[in-house]
A and B are shown apart, each in its own frame.
Chain A
């Protein structure tokens, strides 16, 4: 320590303090009309006397203030902010009315009097003075500003600036590069140089893989570093895991036959020995045999029972990335762009027609089939996809999520995303379309994955350490360009850009990338410790948690053997390669043929169906294998994600949050009691005769967002409890629906004629 008292800051921090002191905020009323800027953030353009619409219908209601475009965000600063603007999740880097430029999906300007509209792209002209600006955001918000009282030229300039700056020409122009560079130098010296205290493994070095091999008991697999400096494959990580029996030389030689040189690499091991492996397609079909002879026996050899290997070609059985994108656009349309009443009309069939839920189900179903192979059939599985960078990410991570409770913890989940998405070379840059260059590469695969996770979570609410709020916030983080996680197409691309970045920003060589360009997993970048407790699921049944059966409190037995499939021995009958299941329905007599149609026939049950049925007939152990129910009636729309901004869909003083509220309070009480118990025990052991001054855990250590209260129940639930909690629809979904052609119709074709000038025949 070289300074005792805190050094006077040399720059002005615009970050709100992490621990917000209530008194301070009351003393200084926030009356300034100045934007809060981050390090390196500059104002590009601004306009005064702008009205931000607060709701869709009443064009009267609104908030007056200044609209600003910076190199990071669109910011709106109300002149007279409403006093009661308590948002329950306050972002440390973004204000209530801020939208990161990366989060903009479409920038639309409107002139009502002239009846013109235009979708603005980069470097464009605008032939009319906009009376309105509508921002369609990737997190499904729709924000609308009105310029009736604003200077027409300034308004136009801001609109053009927003459009221009939201289409960055090159990746390093994304604000994260500026921000993290400044932040690195500004906060130098205060940091403990240990990966920023990150608990999530990043899988950028052999030790992370080694630990994963040990954790899963994959003794026949080894970490291999042939791809160091990306010498073999441009999209695989530097360290990969391969069968022990394959030599480096062998791998190198055969890598050329795979797309992108993505040879089969290990993802995960079942305690019974079967392995999950992923790979790209073989570029030259003539080499198929040769490759099969090299790799398949090696994978078989890595199985303790030398069990067979099954390859699943995902391109053949799952929707492709364009299908997914088009489904997502449609469902988003129905949920937020179409007017509420209009879409209410045939809501169910409209949702069905988007096919989004069908695709969610398809991915879950295919993953469950893989689970059957790995667990029920004890075979190793190779997931194959042309490039091994999209569908494989979804299926591989879902399979692991179902099979391994470790990935249902917060850190485990983050390591899963890191391992199967980030390091596996999922093209986040292209799929997110951060540079808005190529719409045809855009696809919501990660979003699809999060939705699938939510479906499992929805069916097994006690199985996950984290909440749906966490999943939602994670999805929102994709659109904030400050974290290295979602910015790059591959580890190689990241390494290259970050090397240049370090050079440009005079960051010393050898400094850890995670320190100068941190991933999203360091949540303290975005949220206070108190707010992060919203990620904690009070229902989570962790290791050794109590469970009540018939009124008795029992403790969950958690041993390695809870992967019960090994004991079940279903695989024995299947090993001969014969189809199983014949025995179960062998004697269906002639009577069945007489049955009337309303007594429909029992379908032939496949071995996997039988496996699922068996599994479902037993009580689920939250800390073991989990298989989601896949009857269509059991897949639901993820309301928090899709409907959180829709004011008409917001249940006041209701929604699942009211249960979460009650549960959190209960768990907090339990934790206080546990803390008391420890203190009493301490007293007893130390032989002290003094009563301990009972104190609960420090508030910073308390895991629950809602704290226990011994007060009588208040007369009514707190107002902030709504089905959108911790988000608020107010001012976040202002579609134009009052007159003229609904903007939805206009936007239908918008992707095709993105920069067409005006719609002359558009009546207003």
Chain B
């Protein structure tokens, strides 16, 4: 097989190996023997620990097969020395990870008191940003056959959607991020709003995040636009320009004389924002607009919910009260509200042929979740692997979801209130959609897990920084490798063999707890009792291989028979060499 000749493919598969296969520019920083790892499933294991500038590697040779733990330091959220030295002179360390697990190690008290514990060394490399070091992604430098940084080009994506057209234009007003430093440089806006007015609208929208086009319906021209909250404040400030602007968005769609504004927040939170100068559009000021609150909670609530979920699933699930414990985390309830919001947006656009404006407070967390999920439901292109990459690059990365802040890459400040699993929650929602529509997505579950793994690993540059502007400044595309380079160089791994490319299929999921499930393949994957279920698509792959094999044999035999009949019966000239279609049609 080809994979064996390509070193980088091996790199990610070596968890079963006893020696870590070091990546380019990865260097061992420290090593310690006789370290105990307390595996919550197997028990105490004694072995060797290796720390590099990228990973922690633990190996226990006492077992058959050898036990190996190999984790990128990027997943470490917090390292803590636990308790004092015990009577046996051991010191122990706990590692809290961002990917739903906790690890615990111990080793003998150093005899040489000047020598640092390996876990102190680990702290240094786990939090490079806090220690004035470089994130490993900048050192990695692996060359892939595909260049993932070329996946997304704003202009071609707008072109794919048919923009510019008679109602929408591309503006360069934000070319140097002057109007809005958290927005991309390329924006699509209504044709009849000149750039000067855009700037005045920006003054009325939080952080200058004006309403811009995310997606346009190819037939009805109904649009999904996104923005931040209007700066209404306690006094109910209004902006003529903003009102005119929303009217222009509505007018751009001849099918409907209404505009829906979806405010992702609970109405109470939206109202509370008035105290800070923000707020929401009053229906008096915006005629023909209807405002709907979607009741999705803020980043702090989500962080707390995932923390509770971790308590419930790691390391072990209690035998009793599983469902009520799960319910008490509210995680699925939040997932439900997000999906319900996205469904309402998709339904308004598809069935109501009505344009929608989506915002929350700043328009970079909940707004991105909602627009990208609605777009996944509405547009089959985003359900392909490349389309999904484009969706992430566009709605999340270019529109300034603050990845660095939400994830805290390389930052030791684990209590930072800006951290929140907004993106994980979005990927979970996508997984829920794939569960309800198993044939509608070109990618498989492994693709989604891989994205989440490298969200933290800091191996690729994709999820570094907070905005397009920052990424440009840091020269991320030049200095790091894109996750899509890795993914697109081995698409087969991430392909769902069940995928049917229905060109015109809008997904209307059932947003009910009856169908929403906990994503066990992600959240419970550390539990060795959780052997992945015999996946349907694995069987499908086998069948595809069998079909190919049979097709080959049929073709061979067909050639053989054709040759024979041609040579032995030259008298029957012009005997039609029926070309046999691979499969006959039966409907």
Contacts and interface: CB of A to CB of B under 8 A. Distances in A.
Interface of A: 340, 344, 346-349, 351-352, 357-358, 458-463, 538-539, 541, 546-548, 550-551, 553, 584-585, 587-592, 594-596, 598-600, 602, 612-613, 616-617, 620, 622, 629, 631-634, 636-637, 639, 643, 646, 648-656, 658-659, 661-663, 666-670, 672-674, 676-677, 680-681, 683-684, 689-692, 694, 696, 699, 702, 707-711, 713-717, 723
Contacts of B332: 348
Given A680-B558, A689-B568, 6 more contacts: A346-B327, A649-B512, A654-B507, A669-B583, A670-B550, A715-B502
A301 B233 CA distance: 88
24 contacts: A348-B323, A348-B513, A459-B533, A461-B536, A548-B545, A548-B546, A553-B545, A591-B88, A602-B39, A616-B529, A634-B533, A653-B505, A656-B438, A670-B543, A677-B554, A696-B584, A702-B586, A707-B586, A709-B585, A709-B586, A710-B583, A714-B502, A716-B502, A716-B504
Given A351-B323, A658-B438, A663 B543 contact: yes
Contacts of B542: 546-548, 553
Given A654-B436, A661-B439, A717-B439, A648 B510 contact: yes
Given A648-B510, A690-B565, A677 B557 contact: yes
Given A669-B583, A684-B557, A651 B517 contact: no
B423 to A, nearest CB: 23
B586 A348 contact: no
Contact of A592 (B38, B510, B549): B38
B interface, how many residues as a size bin?
35 or more
B298 interface: no
Interface string B21-64: 00000000000000010111111100000000000000000000
Nearest to B547: A670
Nearest to B65: A617
Contacts of B534: 459-463, 620, 622
Contact of B554 (A348, A602, A673): A673
B510 A650 contact: yes
B530 A636 contact: no
A352 B505 contact: no
B317 A631 contact: yes
A546 B546 contact: yes
A631 B562 CA distance: 58
Contact of B520 (A598, A634, A715): A634
A761 B137 CA distance: 72
Looking at chain B's contact residues, is the secondary structure mostly helix, strand, loop, or mixed? loop
B316 interface: yes
Interface stretch (B464-472, B479-487, B574-582): B574-582
Interface string B507-550: 11110111101101000100111110110100111111111011
Contacts of A655: 436
Nearest to A711: B585
Given A348-B323, A349-B324, A631-B527, A600 B508 contact: no
B102 A599 contact: yes
Contacts of B518: 633
Contacts of A612: 529
Contact of A666 (B530, B540, B553): B540
Interface in B553-578: 553-554, 557-558, 560-562, 564-565, 568-569, 578
* Closest 4 A/B residue pairs (Cβ): A632-B322, A680-B557, A352-B323, A715-B504
Contacts of B583: 669, 672-673, 708, 710
Contacts of A674: 550
Given A541-B539, A658-B437, A633 B550 contact: no
B437 A654 contact: yes
Interface string B69-96: 0000000000000110011101010100
A612 B561 CA distance: 53
Contacts of B502: 713-717
A602 B41 contact: yes
B514 A347 contact: yes
B321 interface: yes
Q: Most chain-B Cβ atoms within 10 A of its Cβ — which of A348, A592, A656, A668?
A: A348
A667 to B, nearest CB: 6
B1 interface: yes
A745 to B, nearest CB: 21
A622 B546 CA distance: 18
B585 A710 contact: yes
B114 interface: no
A539 B43 CA distance: 38
Nearest to A627: B531
B587 interface: yes
A658 B524 CA distance: 26
A665 to B, nearest CB: 9
Contact of A689 (B90, B437, B520, B565): B565
B439 A658 contact: yes
B326 interface: yes
B109 interface: no
B343 interface: no
Interface string B487-514: 0000000000010111111011110111
B551 interface: yes
Contacts of A717: 439, 500, 502, 505
Nearest to B576: A691
Contacts of A650: 510
Contacts of B514: 344, 347, 637, 639, 643, 646, 649
Interface in B435-453: 436-440
A570 to B, nearest CB: 15
B12 to A, nearest CB: 16
A594 B582 CA distance: 67
Interface in B284-334: 311, 313, 315-324, 326-327, 332
B106 interface: yes
Contact of B565 (A344, A347, A673, A691): A691
A73 B529 CA distance: 49
Nearest to A650: B510
B104 interface: yes
Nearest to B584: A696
A349 B323 contact: yes
A587 B524 contact: no
Contacts of B530: 629, 631, 633-634
Contacts of A616: 528-529, 531
B322 A708 contact: no
Nearest to A335: B514
Contacts of A459: 533-534
Contact of B539 (A461, A551, A585, A668): A461
Contact of A539 (B438, B536, B586): B536
A653 B41 CA distance: 41
Contact of B536 (A589, A639, A652, A659): A659
Given A348-B323, A348-B326, A548-B542, A662 B500 contact: yes
Contacts of B440: 654, 658
B315 A600 contact: yes
Contacts of A648: 510, 512
Contact of B529 (A631, A672, A707): A631
Contact of B561 (A462, A538, A691): A691
A566 B509 CA distance: 48
Interface string B150-161: 000000000000
A591 B557 contact: no
A538 B536 CA distance: 11
A717 B513 CA distance: 24
B539 A539 contact: yes
A72 B562 CA distance: 61
Nearest to A349: B324
Q: Most chain-A Cβ atoms within 10 A of its Cβ — which of B500, B504, B569?
A: B500
A676 B554 CA distance: 7
